[in-house]
Amino acid sequence: MAKITFITSDNETITLEGTSGSVMALAVDNGIKGIDGDCGGVCSCATCHVHVAAEDMDKTGSASEIEADMLELDDNVDEFSRLCCQLEISDSIDGIVLKVAK
C-alpha cells in the first residue's frame, strides 16, 4: 500500500492510496486533472508528465533513457520530470508528492 499525493496546476492537493499498477492508472481512475494517460501507459503520449518533489527523487529514481527522450521535448521539463505511467505503485514509493505538469 502506498499513499501518493498529487498537486494539480490549479493547486489542488489530492492524496490517493494504491496497491499495484502504475501511478498514471491510479491518477486517471481518480480523475486527477492534467493526467490523461492517452496511450494507456506505453510511454508514447507524454500526457502523464509529473514533477517529483526533490526529496522524493531517491524513491522514484530518474527517468529511463526512452522516457527522457520523450520528456526532452516537453515544454516544462526539468530534472524532476517523470512520466508517471512508468512509476509502479509499491511500498517503496509510499508518501511521494507529485506536481502535475499540465
Task: Tell which positions 16-75 bind ligand FES, by CB under 6 A.
Answer: 24, 37-39, 41, 43-48
9 binds another protein (CB under 8 A): no
Q: How far is the CB of 50 from another protein (least distance, A)?
A: 17
CA distances for 48 relative to 7, 27, 55, 92, angstroms: 13, 9, 20, 20
Judge whether 9 and 22 are in contact, CB under 8 Å: no
7 binds ligand FES (CB under 6 A): no
Q: Footprint of ligand FES on this chain (CB under 6 A)?
A: 24, 37-39, 41, 43-48, 83, 85
